[in-house]
Each structure stands twice: as C-alpha cells, then as structure tokens.
Structure 1
Amino acid sequence: MQNDKLQTRFIPNYGNLKFLIALTLFVFTGYLASGQSRYQPQALFPAVPLLPPGNEYRSATGEPGRAYWQNQADYVIDVALDDQKNIISGTATITYTNNSPKALSTLWMQLEQNVFKKDSRGIKAKLFLYKDANEKTADGGYEIEAVKLKNDTAVASNITYHIYDTRMELQLPQPLKSGQKITFSIQYRYNFPTNYKNADFLVNRTDILPTKNGNIYAVAQWYPRMCVLDDVEGWNTLPYLGNGEFYLEYGNFNVNITLPASYIVEGSGDLLNPEEVLTPVQLKRWQAAKQSEVPVFIRSAKEVAEASSRPAKATCTWKFRMDNTRDFAWTASKSFIWEALSFPVAGGKSVMGSSLYPVESDKKDSWKRSSEYIKFTLQHFSDKWFAYPYHKVVNVASNLDGMEYPGMVFCSAKDTGNAYFMVVNHELGHTWFPMVVGGNERKYAWMDEGFNTFIDNLAVKDFNKGEFPGYEQIYSPLDTLFSERTVPIMTRPDAIPGDMVFPVEYQKVAYVLTLLRNQIVGPERFDRAFHKYINDWAYKHPSPWDFFRSIDSSVGEDLTWFWKAMFLENYRLDQSVAKVETAAGKTIITINNMERAAMPLSVEITYANGLKERHNFPVEVWEYSWQYTFNADKNDPVTKVVIDPDGIYPDINKGNNVYEVKGK
C-alpha cells in the first residue's frame, strides 16, 4: 500500500496534485493538532547534500583527491636539561617544505608553552587554570633568543618574527614558492610548568613527578612547532587554551638531548647511540631485549640507587631519530626501573616495548604488567586496523593521568587494576588516532578521543577473556549523552563545558559509532569501511567531512540522517507506542517519532497465548512522516507491544515505549 501511495505522489496531473495538497494538509494538520512531535523528516533526509562537494583535493568518495597536498616539517633539535633550575634550552632547526599550490610570504608556528605566561589567553579565559585564575604565579613560556635563516653563506640572517600568545608569525625575506624548502633555526628556552607551585593547572601535558629516587620529567610541547597549512582552512592558528590538543605536520626528527649522566632517557624515536649512554651491562641487556618476547630488565629496582648503573662521566647526549612522524616527546629520570621486550606485529615487523617507572609503581596490579598491556594493545590494533608504524613504543610513569605522543605515552604512576589497563590501552591506541590518521585535534577532538575510545571498547573484550571492563567503569549514564544541555559532538573542544568533555568527546562518539557498526550497517561492513578510512588517510589530514563521506561511500548508504542527528546536532530520540487498535480482525499498531532524531524501529508483539513476534524496520520508515503504522502478523489478541525490547537505541523516554493490556 505504501508503494502505491509513493507512486501516486509523482503522477503529473492536476487530479493527483489536488490529492497531494489535500494529503499534505491532512498530515500537517494532524502534526499541529498533536502538539507533541518535534520531528521533521526533511531535516534528516534532505535533497540537498549535507556534506560539501568533493574537489581535486578531497574526493566526494571520502578519499584524498588526485591533487591532495600537505606540507612537511623536518626537525633537528639540540637541547639540554638543567635539572637544578628545571630549564630546557636549545636550538630547533626546521626545514619546511611548501607543497601547497601557492607561494608563502609568512609562516606560522605554535608556542604552546606560552599558555603558562600569566597573561595568556588560556589563563585569562579561565580555561587553562583548574582553580583560581587570580592566584599569582611566576611567568612562564618561551624565551625566543633568535630566529635565523639558514643558507649557504657563513652568516645566517635574522628572520623577523611576531609572537601573539601561543602563536609566532615569521616574515620571510622572500616568498617561499610552491615546491621550495626553507631552513631556519630557533634558539629558545623555557622553565618547566612545575615552577608554578601555587597554581593548580588542569592540563599538565609537560610536568615533573617527584619520587624518592629523583624527579621524572615528562617533556612534551617542548619545542616551537609548525602550524598546519591545509586546503580546508589555510593556516590553522587557533591558540592553545587547554582542551584543544594538537594539529601538526608530518616530517623527520633528529633529536639530541644532553643532561647529567645519572639520568636515563627515553624518547619517541630510535636510540642511535646506546653504546655512548648505557653501561656495558645495560647495553647487553638492551640488545637482549631487542630479541626477547619476555621482558628484560635493563635496569632493575635494586640497581636504581646504585651509582654503577650509570656511566661514570659528567653528561650524556642521547641521540634519537624518528621518520614520518608528527611530533616527538621524551622523558628523563634518575629513578627509572627500565624493562623492555620485543614482539611481532601484523606484517612481521618486530617492535621493542619499553616501560620506565619508579620503585613506588613496582606493583603486581600496576606497572609490573606494563609489558603485557603494551604487547596486547599493539598486536590487537595492528591486526584489526593498521600495522603499528614505529620500531618501538615507550610507556612512562608520570603524574600525567595519560597523554599520547608518537611512539611514547605518559600514564599515571599511581594507577592500578582496571584504571591502569584502561589508560595504557587508550594512550597507546592514540597511535592510530591521531598519530597515524592526523586529524585536527584543536578543533575536532572527537576524531581523536572518540575514535580511540571506540576501538578501545572493541579491544577490551578480547583482553584476557574480558578481565577488565575498561571505560565502562567510568561511563556517565546514557541520559547524560542526550540531555538537553549536551553540546553537539561537532563542538570546538574549548567550548565544551568541563563536565561534558568526557561524555561528549569520548563516550558519546564511541557509543554512536558502536550503534552504527552493530545495528545500522553491521560489523563486517562497518569494519571494512573504517579500515579503509584509516588506510586512505594514514599520515594525512582528514576533515570530519572526509570521514562522513568515506563511511557513506564504503558502506553504500546515505547516512546524512545519522551524521546530522548524532554529530552535527544534539538531536534526541523518542519513539512511542501511539495506538494499538483492532479493525476487521487485524491488530494495527501506530508508532510516533516524537523527537528530532530518527533510528531504525524494532517492535516486539506479545499475544494472549504467550507467543511473540519481532518486527524490524529500517530508518527509512521515518523519511515521509513522524508516524508509522503496521499490522501484526497474526489475528490473535495482542496483550503487549514494546519498542526496542533489547534497549539498543538511545530513547530518552522509555515510559512511552510499552503498550500493555492490564489484566481484569
């Protein structure tokens, strides 16, 4: 019957036109008379595409276009740590390649440490400070001592620069043409943020953890970094305020770190000179760990306090290299227990996993299991999505609750049990988002945190027969994700209320992607599409539109209704049993869609004789109207009708999901 009506609507004669007008008025009048439903089909099922059209840079099928480009930033960084004053100082030499189609007269850089300046936008906006923004603190941030152009002459010329909060503009002496490179150096220094002893910073992504055997330095956002220039927004120069993380170009890193020889150092990249920075005993153990799937202690708990466990010289320079990466982080401490192992990942490559932690964290339900968690996580995600791209991975105990960098993560030194497994699994999962798939975290944190939480939730079920619940342990109630005050997922991170950051950026994204995977397109079809998206955009910069288009194209569906309701808006779902009536021996059931979101419809009918039947309808039943009517299969009396009997969909009002004939 519905197909006949659909055909009638498109017969071009005046009689049918009058009928269509009358029918439309009838439906619209009924909608107004109800005074209840907020649903408008045309908002979720528009004729005009929701997504912008594809172009030569980004295709309509969600893949990089034939003319896709991105620039490259290569770094050679020489720094020293003054552990008495807690100062980092050094020189970053940057080679920037302009692959864009236009000449550049200026370059832009991020100076994230400047958020610790007392007049920073982050502090004045009260987004960066957790407690009292009026509390007096020492002034922090970068001291830029010189910016010089490198050329073939012996004398390097100065580059004019201007600093605006956490951004620095470089005025080039002549335009950098398409296809050209420029090399320049920045001499700089800064104090570690822990010098702010009277302030409580919410975001401590670089910090110092005191332990009984010495400080643990977590060193990140520690050098001036190139802003991304892309075809979507040009220069991405949003200031660093706290919640919005990072958007970075890919390139090659050579990093040389000088500090007292009593320190053990680990970094994102491959250690190039182990024979210069390790004792002969440690060197043998380090080499053994590269061949062992069982953890090898390069320095044991007993040896931490022994001077002989470090080379007998004043300083060491640790040299690292990492290619095709968007960032680099490192750690240093006198207090480290250091264990390592190696294991294969998909594709046959061997990865070395290092764990560094103080004796205080040497517990059986905590850091003693670090190697186990590292191996599981990297092997699982490599098998499922994309092979782990680096030669090693480092897990460091710190006072950061969890923060990720390429090949290196900082996890809490105090966590135990599920909390510890969860943070290690999650932070290492960031290898795939955003280290491999390099989205814009400063604007779209959900493409980083939410995607990662989604794959975490799949992984946790496979670890040790479900030993840990993972993120479910800290999930907010489902009602929170779809409350009236919940902001849309597509909200800039720094504009999300503090108590909604986790529910929106992490939990809601994971929830709705799981819904899309399991109920709407099916696991096999979704996983194939998600795998393709990761592989298409590995080491590139996808936008949200690229993700939406990629999934649509791969699964062969127009998911406009889903992206609009779940990501672009905070639309809510409320399906209700409106009527159950009998006519000519048939039971006729009417379901209303009361709110602005739409989802597939699942209805269970129970007959008086106890038999049940299930009806499953696609989301297209809501494409025409806010009301849907169907018949029960049998002519027997119906005693109960339940919408979504398995509790799959995020219906905000379960009270109207049930019709039941009460016994007399």
Structure 2
Amino acid sequence: MKRFFKFLCLIFLFDTVSAQSQDPSKYAASDLFPAASFLPTGNSYRSATGEPGPAYWQNRADYAIDVSLDDKKDVIAGTETITFSNNSPHTLSFLWLQMDQNVYKKHSKGLDAKLFLSGNTSDSKFEGGFVIESVLFKSAQTTNKLARYTITDTRMRIDLNQPLASGQKVSFQIKYSYKFPRNFRNADFNVNRTDILPTKKGDIYSVAQWYPRLCVLDDVSGWNTLPYLGNGEFYLEYGNFDVNITLPSAYIVEASGDLLNPDEVLTPVQSERWKRAKTSDEKVFIRTADEISMPSSRPSKPSCTWKFKLNSARDFAWTASKAFVWEGIGIKLQGGKKVMGSSLYPVESKSAESWERSGEYIKFTLQYFSEKWYPYPYNKAVNVASNLDGMEYPGLVFCSAKDKGNMYWAVVNHELGHTWFPMIVGSNERKHAWMDEGLNAFMDNMATKDFNGGEFIGYPEIDVPVLALFADTLVPIMTRPDVIAPNQVYSVQYQKVAYLLTLLREQILGKEKFDLAFRKYIRDWAYKHPVPSDFFSSINNSTGEDLHWFWKSMFLENYKLDQKVTKVVNPEKSKPAKAQITIENMERAAMPLLIEITFENGQTEFHKLPVEIWQQGPVYRFTPDAAGVVSKVVLDPQNVFPDVAPANNVWQKK
C-alpha cells in the first residue's frame, strides 16, 4: 500500500498509556490460556493445522481485455471478456463484481464517508465512475444474450440466465468506459490508486482499478462485497490476463504482464535494447533522457496496440506516458530464473540519489525475498514513477516520482515486497490489511538491515515510543481497515504487526524456528486465500508452540503488559540461604520473564522463564540459583518486551 508519513503516527496517544500499575492485578490466566481455543476447529476446507484442507476450493476468473486511452479527454474505454470458473460446491444464480472507479461518483459511500476528498478545484463538477454500455453473456453455441445487472455503489450484481453448477464456467462481456480522476486527495494523505502526474514532457498515467473485477466467493464469508471506501484495499480471484492496450504511438507503455509484440510497438533500436536488457547484468537504457524529445524514438504511425500476457495473477495494472526514460536490467534469481527489472520515470526524477538506483533496488529486493522466503513468480518487475506515494500490483509498482535517498529505497523495497503479500499469498485486504501490510513491513525491516551494509534505515520500525502501540485509544490489529482512524492506520496495520512478529521471531520462538514456519505458511497458501486464523494456526502447528496467548492479547485485543517486582525477601546475612523473589503480572497481557539479579558480593544471575509461568495466575515466586543477599532485581533489562510501567521493573535494596 501507499507510504504513510510520520505525522500520522499516534501523536495523540501519549496521555493514554497507563504509566502506573494499579492493584489489584487485571490479569486472568483463563483468558490467555483457555481449554477451548478461540481458533475455529478444522474442517475439510481449512484444516486445524493452518493448512488448506483436502476439499479446499476457490474460484477462478480469467480476463481478456481490449482497452484504449483517449489522452485528449482522459478517458479509458474497454471491452473485457471474463470467464468465471465455479469451483465452489454451490450452484450459483448470480455473480458479484467490484466497480472500484465508482468511488469517484458523487455521493459514493467512499466520498460520503470522507475517505476520498477531491482536490480538483479546477474541475469542481468532475464526476467519475464506470459507464457501462452493455453486459452480454458469451457462448460459442448460442447467440450473445443481454445480461440483467444491478449496480450499487462500487458493486455490480449480474444475474445468470441459468444456474451455474459446481464445475461449470460462464463467460460474459462488459463494454465500459470512465474518465480518469485527477488529484483526488484525502486531507492528510493521498488515497487515490489511479491518477495522472503532469511532467515537463507529458502526463504519466497510472492505470489501476481500471476494469470491473470479480468479487471473491469463499468458504468463510460467501460473497465478499464490502464497498470500496479507500483504506481497505482488495480481495481478488486468481486467473490469466490477456490485455491489449491501444493509444497514440508517442506513448511508452509498461504493464504487469509480459510484452508479446515488442517489434510492433518499439523502434528497431528500442527493440534491440529491450531484448538485451532482459539478460544484461548492467542496466540498459531502452529510451534515454535525450531521446524523449526525438520523434524518431517512437514508431511513425498514428497508434500502437501493446499486447501483454500474465498468468496466475490476481490483478493487472499498467502505465503510459510520452515522458518516460526507460531502463531495464536482467536479474538472476536463485535456481537460475531470469527476471527483467524495468524502470520508467520522467527526466525530473533522473537523479543519482533517486530513480537512477531503481534497477539496483529491484534486483536486491527480488533476490533477497526469493532466497529467504519464496521464489519471485513473474518474468519481470516494473517500477513506475508517479504521483501515487506507493501502490503495488502483480509485477508492477507505482512509487513517488519525487522521493530521494532513504525514502526512495524504503518505498521501492516495500511496494515490491507486496509481491509476497498479497500477490502470492492472497489474503483479504478489505478486511485484514495487517496480513499484507504488517507481514510485508516485517520483511522490509529485515531486508533494509541487510541492504548494502545497512546503508538506509528504511521506514522507521517504530517512530513513536513502543508503549504508544499499546495505548487504550488504539484499536486492535484485527480491526477492519476502513474502521481504523487515519492517524492510527500506519501504527496499527504496519508498525505494530512488524514489531510483534519481530518480537515473536527474536525473543519468543527463535529465528530458525520462526523462519521455517513462516516459509511453510507462504508455501501452503501461495495463490490461495488464507484468513487470520489460518496464519495463527499455521505458526502454532509448525513451531509446536501454543501461541494462543500471544495472538489473543496482541492481535485480537489491545492488551498491555506490566510485569512488576512485588517483593524481595533476603536471608539474614549470617545464614547461607537464598532470597525469595515475587513477580506479579499486573495487566492483561503475558510475556516470558527476563530477570537479572545482582547480589551484594557483585555476583549476577540472569534467568529467562517461559510464558507458561503465568498459567497459575498473576503471581510468580522463585529463588535464585545462588545463596546470598540480593541487592538488585531488574526485569527485562534490555527492554525487549513492551512493558507499560518500566519503573516497577526494578527493585533495589535500600
């Protein structure tokens, strides 16, 4: 998803974190360690082990789209044929489609909810949205038939002429058009995901959410038809895409899929460079900055039709501009696969601290995540300079044309990281944004540390005090995205999840155990639709640990942690006895216990005790290994855990 700025991060939370623990303890062991799990029992579709069950199913949507761009009117006009495969066990009488462009219609739910606000003062009467010319059922055996359909806000229901049984397919054609929105802005940050960026040499079109798309029918919620409001992103079926894009020949086009006809849409010089770039270890300019103003840098014909193909993907996006500098580089992945890194940007962005490093960043990100987690699935990775602060699609990302230095690295790494979540692991972003944003942010933090000897800090892992992530005013991670206040989005969906997964990996499970489980989760759910309970169960079962206490307190709820040194009873100095130490869990959350003990003779001990010590209640008593008088006790001396009252973590002998 797009980049969020630091000023959005919980600036209002500091007065809401309880700094002092109050007696009695709020902790209840039965809440975090119940006999009956809050996770659903397994069934034939989704197993209790967090794996797809033997009868797991999901539908499929294949798209063949012919689209044109009128750059005088900023209008997209297209004809798409969708072939829907009903792999569910149900007989269907209707289908639901997403109509995302309708969020730009007056009084759309998104506009009235004020998640989208227009900044287009020069055209205050602008009204966008899909214009549907026709919807026809397609069949080789019968004449095309008009379909009955109903559009409600950002959804379209198509009634089938006859029931579609399990295992059957239906094809239908939609003719549509829409006018490009320009400069729709939220009061605080850019929430548009399709737009036009004016540059010195021409407009850059960022084309996304540009065709009606099938809603997902799954075994969890049935038809997923939540309206598109802005923050909640997308939930899409997988399928193949055949896309033909027609526009004036002065434009350079790039897209999610593989270009099938380079010799028809490129000059002979560009075609040769394009082919060389696919295998070159060094970047190759397919069109240089100097060539942008040269008519000879484009074919001498009125228009070009660019043909692309993409298989096993959940979406498709593209870009077009007369202003592009275009460079490519060949990237070799583990196992020998070659991927082309493609970068397109205006001359204004051509800078050594910015877009000139695009190929380098693409190469590292693809190689790093492929080796560590799961192989990159596409034949190319496209990075486009735009006025979108950052948005991801299969094989193509939009990043800010203005970013430089650390921020440019951070946004490219993050958007390409979305290849793994949600492009490969196809979670429901409309309901569970943390399953792609948070997991991706967690991976990004690791990649940033390893890039070029730690050259950049990337997005700040935590740019507010950690305790602010557990403030009373903060909503739980499992909150639906569109319900989260804008100034909590980044902290809840991104930072808190990344922080907690790092805590789980480095302090609770250990890196090797966690990494094995995380890889298995990706493998099991590649090109499928997991829900949060699948993730929780998968990690539990792969690691052999009961982490219900962690998922409940940290994800389902916004519980706080407060471990307190309640009492230290020292032996008499004349007797060789051991001290008795009492620790109390004052808040609702639990974590392992880290204790550093210092004796009067200068000797020290360190103990790491498992979270299971809290199964008997809020009070834990123990004795050190060594006898003697204790002079100091410190809980969590390195501040590993998010204890909201660190002052009571220390006891010192008076």
Length-normalised TM-score, structure 2: 0.94
Equivalent residues of 2:120, 2:183 under 8 A apart: no
1:403 equivalenced with 2:391 (yes/no): yes
In the alignment, what sits opposite 2:447? 459
State the SS of the aligned residue for 1:193: coil
Q: 1:345 to 1:519 in 2, by over 3 A?
A: same
In the alignment, what sits opposite 2:225? 237
TM-align CA RMSD: 1.8
1:141 equivalenced with 2:129 (yes/no): yes
In the alignment, what sits opposite 1:192? 180
Which of 520, 530, 545 is the equivalent residue of 1:557?
545
**Could you tell me how far 1:492 is from its partner in structure 2?**
0.1
User: Residue deviations 1:299-356, cap 9 Å, x none?
Assistant: 0111111111111110000000000000000000000000001111122110000000
**Structure 2 counterparts to residues 249-328 of structure 1, below 5 A:** 249-328=237-316
Which of the pair has more CA radius of gyration? Answer: 1
**Could you tell me how far 1:193 is from its partner in structure 2?**
1.0
Length, aligned pairs only = 629
In the alignment, what sits opposite 1:246? 234
User: Residue deviations 1:10-67, cap 9 Å, x none?
Assistant: xxxxxxxxxxxxxxxxxxxxxxxx8331100000000011100010000111110000
In the alignment, what sits opposite 2:14? none
Which of 627, 630, 645 is the equivalent residue of 2:622?
630
Q: 1:342 to 1:198 in 2, by over 3 A?
A: closer
In the alignment, what sits opposite 1:225? 213
User: Residue deviations 1:556-586, cap 9 Å, x none?
Assistant: 0111000000100001101011111124632
In the alignment, what sits opposite 2:24? 36
- Shifted more, 473-482 versus 512-521: the winner is 473-482
User: 2:57 is aligned with what amino acid?
Assistant: W
**Could you tell me how far 1:200 is from its partner in structure 2?**
8.8
Q: 1:195 to 1:633 in 2, by over 3 A?
A: closer
Q: 1:190 to 1:505 in 2, by over 3 A?
A: same
User: 2:587 is aligned with what amino acid?
Assistant: E
Equivalent residues of 1:426, 1:453 under 8 A apart: yes
**Structure 2 counterparts to residues 508-657 of structure 1, below 5 A:** 508-583=496-571, 585-657=577-649
**Structure 2 counterparts to residues 127-138 of structure 1, below 5 A:** 127-129=115-117, 137-138=125-126
**Could you tell me how far 1:439 is from its partner in structure 2?**
0.3
In the alignment, what sits opposite 1:100? 88
What CA distance in whole angstroms lies between the structure 2 residues aligned with 1:227 and 1:431?
20
Q: 1:549 to 1:283 in 2, by over 3 A?
A: same
**Structure 2 counterparts to residues 38-77 of structure 1, below 5 A:** 38-77=26-65
Equivalent residues of 1:587, 1:632 under 8 A apart: yes
Which of 76, 81, 93 is the equivalent residue of 1:88?
76
What CA distance in whole angstroms lies between the structure 1 residues aligned with 2:226 and 2:29?
36
**Could you tell me how far 1:204 is from its partner in structure 2?**
1.1
In the alignment, what sits opposite 1:31? none
State the SS of the aligned residue for 1:43: helix
What CA distance in whole angstroms lies between the structure 2 residues aligned with 1:195 and 1:618?
53
Which of 467, 472, 475 is the equivalent residue of 1:479?
467
In the alignment, what sits opposite 1:419? 407
State the SS of the aligned residue for 2:516: helix
State the SS of the aligned residue for 2:241: strand
Unpaired segments of 5 or more residues in structure 2? Answer: 1-21
Which of 171, 174, 178 is the equivalent residue of 2:166?
178
**Could you tell me how far 1:155 is from its partner in structure 2?**
3.4
Q: 1:641 to 1:474 in 2, by over 3 A?
A: closer
1:336 equivalenced with 2:328 (yes/no): no
**Could you tell me how far 1:291 is from its partner in structure 2?**
1.7
What CA distance in whole angstroms lies between the structure 2 residues aligned with 1:469 and 1:318?
39
**Structure 2 counterparts to residues 374-453 of structure 1, below 5 A:** 374-453=362-441
1:118 equivalenced with 2:110 (yes/no): no
Give the fraction of aligned pairs with identical amino acids, expressed as a percent.
Answer: 64
**Could you tell me how far 1:474 is from its partner in structure 2?**
6.7
What CA distance in whole angstroms lies between the structure 2 residues aligned with 1:437 and 1:476?
30
User: Residue deviations 1:271-320, cap 9 Å, x none?
Assistant: 00000000000011001111201000000111111111111110000000
What CA distance in whole angstroms lies between the structure 2 residues aligned with 1:161 and 1:335?
40
What CA distance in whole angstroms lies between the structure 1 residues aligned with 2:648 and 2:75?
62
Length-normalised TM-score, structure 1: 0.93
**Could you tell me how far 1:387 is from its partner in structure 2?**
0.4
**Could you tell me how far 1:132 is from its partner in structure 2?**
11
What CA distance in whole angstroms lies between the structure 2 residues aligned with 1:132 and 1:260?
26
User: Residue deviations 1:71-112, cap 9 Å, x none?
Assistant: 000000000001011010011110000000011000000000
- Shifted more, 339-348 versus 207-216: the winner is 339-348
Q: 1:645 to 1:94 in 2, by over 3 A?
A: same
**Could you tell me how far 1:617 is from its partner in structure 2?**
0.4
Equivalent residues of 1:91, 1:185 under 8 A apart: yes
State the SS of the aligned residue for 1:463: helix
**Could you tell me how far 1:660 is from its partner in structure 2?**
1.4
What CA distance in whole angstroms lies between the structure 2 residues aligned with 1:397 and 1:131?
21
Q: 1:136 to 1:304 in 2, by over 3 A?
A: closer
Q: 1:288 to 1:652 in 2, by over 3 A?
A: same
Equivalent residues of 1:593, 1:626 under 8 A apart: yes
What CA distance in whole angstroms lies between the structure 2 residues aligned with 1:486 and 1:145?
46
What CA distance in whole angstroms lies between the structure 2 residues aligned with 1:91 and 1:131?
30
User: 2:363 is aligned with what amino acid?
Assistant: K
In the alignment, what sits opposite 2:6? none
User: Residue deviations 1:147-188, cap 9 Å, x none?
Assistant: 000012573110000001000000001011100000000000
User: 1:627 is aligned with what amino acid?
Assistant: V
Equivalent residues of 1:118, 1:137 under 8 A apart: no
1:373 equivalenced with 2:365 (yes/no): no
Q: Which has the higher contact order (CA 8 A, sep 6+)?
A: 2
User: 2:82 is aligned with what amino acid?
Assistant: I
User: Residue deviations 1:375-423, cap 9 Å, x none?
Assistant: 0000000000100000001000000110000000000000011100000
User: 1:504 is aligned with what amino acid?
Assistant: V
Equivalent residues of 2:190, 2:389 under 8 A apart: no
State the SS of the aligned residue for 1:106: strand
What CA distance in whole angstroms lies between the structure 2 residues aligned with 1:422 and 1:333?
25
Q: 1:612 to 1:562 in 2, by over 3 A?
A: same
Equivalent residues of 2:461, 2:499 under 8 A apart: no
Equivalent residues of 1:138, 1:195 under 8 A apart: no
What CA distance in whole angstroms lies between the structure 2 residues aligned with 1:547 and 1:607?
44
User: 2:211 is aligned with what amino acid?
Assistant: Y
Equivalent residues of 1:604, 1:615 under 8 A apart: yes
What CA distance in whole angstroms lies between the structure 2 residues aligned with 1:414 and 1:195?
16
What CA distance in whole angstroms lies between the structure 1 residues aligned with 2:95 and 2:497?
34
Q: 1:198 to 1:54 in 2, by over 3 A?
A: closer
What CA distance in whole angstroms lies between the structure 2 residues aligned with 1:386 and 1:463?
18
1:166 equivalenced with 2:154 (yes/no): yes
User: Residue deviations 1:458-486, cap 9 Å, x none?
Assistant: 11111001111112277332122111111
User: Residue deviations 1:421-449, cap 9 Å, x none?
Assistant: 00000000000000000000000000010
**Could you tell me how far 1:609 is from its partner in structure 2?**
2.5
Equivalent residues of 1:487, 1:570 under 8 A apart: yes
**Could you tell me how far 1:69 is from its partner in structure 2?**
0.5
Equivalent residues of 2:116, 2:186 under 8 A apart: no
Q: 1:572 to 1:73 in 2, by over 3 A?
A: same
